Amino acid sequence: MSDRMLTMSEALREAMAIAMEERPEVFILGEDIGIYGGAFGVTGDLYHRFGSERVRDTPISELGIVGAAVGAALSGMRPIVEIQFSDFTAQAMDQIVNQAAKIHFMVGGELHVPLVLRAASGSGTGAAGQHSQSLEGWFANVPGLKVVMPSSPYEAKGLLLSAIDDPNPVIFLEHKLLYKIPGREEVPEGAYRIPLGVSRVLREGKDLTIVATGIMVSRAMAAADELAVEGVEVTVIDPRTISPLDMDPVYASLENTGRLMVVQEAPEHGGFLNEVIALVATGPALGHLIAPVVRLAGMNVPIPYAPQLEKAAVPQVNNIVAAARSVVADWR
Amino acid sequence: MTTIPLLTGNPLESNVHARYALLTMSRIRKLEEAVEDLFGRGMMHGTMHLSIGQEASATGVCMALNIDDQITSTHRGHGHCVAKGADLTRMIAELLGKENGYCGGRGGSMHIADVATGNLGANGIVGGGIPIAVGAGLASKLMNRGTVAVSFFGDGAMNEGAFHEAANLAAIWKLPVVFVCENNGYGMSSSTELAFAIDTLAERGLGYGIPGYTIDGNDVSAVYEATQAAVQRARNGEGPTLLELVTYRWKGHSRSDKNLYRTKEEIDEWKTKDPILFFEHLLKDKGMITDEEIAQVHAEATSQVIAAVNEAMKGVPADPANLLDAVFKKVSA
């Protein structure tokens, strides 16, 4: 195996190190990101490489941290905030939603907020209801925020560098199960950037288009491998950024497949992927649909503790395989 | 001309400083009286929060700052904006929803910011600007700029978590920040007696290792002196200071206020402590100004505000066709 098959933690750390080497105005602040190296080990040794001023440990004070980052961003810095669990953004929501997202607009464009808020997202670690949520839909519903959901180490590095370059506030949601797993593709050394707002088509098949976000991308890919054995050919599209959202590859794919499945971990009700369905329903690809849209999402329930309950609450590979198999069989 | 550049220095330092301080307070008052009038005549929509009676705090604080020092302001922020050197025409134009307003009609009274004068903006969220000022102070420290960030907020904001988190961060990092609490006695209708179990709000600094001082917020030179000391401390790298400036808002919280929670006698008593009259008497006692000069200052303020209103009225109404333009800043290639 190549030594460039990094984990997502390693890829994110490389991106932050590159950004800090490139720009003096980039710094990181968050809880336990210094000597401890971050709750999930993402900042790692950056404290030793860049020092305590630029890899800045904070008290447990999410509202204050994000607010300080907003003020620093307004004053010419490019802060990267790490929030240990995305659930804790609830503590900081005023600064994210009422301040960071709106300042550029409300003041008529004179000020802007180049801020990246990284947060560990999603379930699967047995941490239960307050440490496992997928909150991307909250942020996607706020004009002025960009929302990124990297699905692999390669994606994470390139998207984070673009997020740091961006002059707007970017919410960067990292699925915690991806942190420690090496990706399926090499992560190039040095800087590369994946633009925000460009979807990625990971594989192409004629039978079904799957749009999946975050960790569901790798589950959709695993499902596609299984389905291929049965002769079901699946297209998998990762929007990468749900705000802004690039739908063109989805429309183009539906011309060939006529069947759409959306997969997200977040609860179904009011979830972001309903927006994808709405855009398909009101967009150029509607006439190509030959089957009802399939929605696979988290159950409308807080993430539970017991492992069998936790797994049951969100889509797994076998759920994707079964749903894909039946929509392709039932609608010809 | 509806802009006057910030003059730094003690209001009692010279006749020039004294005249500037009086003119600034008068411009704030006349501007807000004009705003109230425009509302009354139905020419402005939305809401407004007037700081009439509190002009000394904005003026005295800003005279202790340089143009590149930063401020964050509040929903009751017209005075801070004027005192930092904003253009009255662009302020009024914003309130009228014009394209040439500070925010192009996107923000209105509660969101005026002015980059050129270091004003990071008024804020519609009570306490919202306090952590932002801490971040501005952090940026100053990280980049060795030598600038100070001042956060204006009201007594009500001191019971928001934002104050507590921001105060603690500024203290542990010894940031060049000055917390300026304009204690006007009420958070909307809740009196400080009902909302606090401490004698002075300045005591709140103690829990964070921040020195706190209670100052007569209607005495512009006292405000200046306290702020100047706090700014000096901040520039020296000694960390933040909390100033409680005791003052009073003569008008209601906003348009809907019927003053049911306070008495006419109380309001009238505070009107006898008018910061503008107080300063005029002080200057006359010191022989620094004549009645004639005072009248001239107020006439100049009035004519500036009239010119600002007239000029602002000529502005083009903000165009819905451009509504999406500034949701995101464009990514430069």
| Among chain A residues, CA nearest to B318 | A108
Q: Do A77 and B168 touch (CB under 8 A)?
A: no
- pLDDT per residue as tens digits for the range B20-77: 999 999 999 999 999 999 999 999 988 889 999 999 999 999 999 999 999 999 999 9
CA distance linking residue A246 with residue A250, whole number of Å: 8
Instruction: State the nearest Cα–Cα gap between B157 and chain A, in angstroms.
Output: 14
Residues 21-80 in B contacting A (C-alpha not used; CB under 8 Å)? 70, 72
Q: What domains appear along chain B, each with residue ranges and CATH number?
A: 15-318 (3.40.50.970)
Beta bridge partners of B216: B246
Q: Do A167 and B162 touch (CB under 8 A)?
A: no
- pLDDT per residue as tens digits for the range B175-229: 999 999 999 999 999 999 999 999 999 999 999 999 999 999 999 999 999 999 9
Q: Which stretch of A178-187, A216-225, A249-258 has the lowest confidence by average pLDDT?
A: A178-187
Question: Which of B138, B319, B325, B330 to mutate against chain A (most A CBs within 10 Å)?
Answer: B138
Q: Is B185 helix (H, G, I), strand (E, B) or coil?
A: coil
DSSP state of A275: H
Residue with tokens 């550029």: A104
Q: What domains appear along chain A, each with residue ranges and CATH number?
A: 8-178 (3.40.50.970), 200-330 (3.40.50.920)
Nearest to B158 by CA among B190, B122, B113: B190
Q: Is A23 helix (H, G, I), strand (E, B) or coil?
A: coil
Quick check: B149 contacting A, CB < 8 Å? yes
For residue B1, what pLDDT band results from cuts at 50, 70 and 90? low
What are the angstrom distances between the C-alpha of A276 and each of A284, A317, B137, B279? 13, 21, 42, 63
DSSP state of B119: B
- pLDDT per residue as tens digits for the range A113-168: 999 999 999 999 999 999 999 999 999 999 999 999 999 999 999 999 999 999 99
CA distance linking residue A301 with residue B321, whole number of Å: 42
What are the backbone dihedrals phi and psi of residue B21, each rounded to the nearest 5 degrees, phi first? -65, -45
- pLDDT per residue as tens digits for the range B254-295: 888 889 999 999 999 999 999 999 999 999 999 999 999 999
User: Cis link prior to A304 (omega < 30° from 0)?
Assistant: no
Q: What is the dihedral of CA A315, A316, A319, A325, to 10 degrees?
A: 120
Tokens matching residue A216: 């569901």
CA distance linking residue A58 with residue B246, whole number of Å: 33
CA distance linking residue A150 with residue A138, whole number of Å: 17
Q: What is the dihedral of CA B291, B294, B299, B302, to 10 degrees?
A: -140
Q: Do A106 and B131 touch (CB under 8 A)?
A: no
- pLDDT per residue as tens digits for the range B287-306: 999 999 999 999 999 999 99
Query: In 10 A of CB A228, how many CB atoms?
Result: 14
Q: Do A94 and B128 touch (CB under 8 A)?
A: yes
Residues 141-200 in A contacting B (C-alpha not used; CB under 8 Å)? 143-144, 146, 165-168, 196
The pLDDT score that the predictor gives to residue A1 is 52
Q: Do A168 and B142 touch (CB under 8 A)?
A: no
Half-sphere exposure of B325 (CA within 13 A, CB side): 15
CA distance linking residue B155 with residue B165, whole number of Å: 16
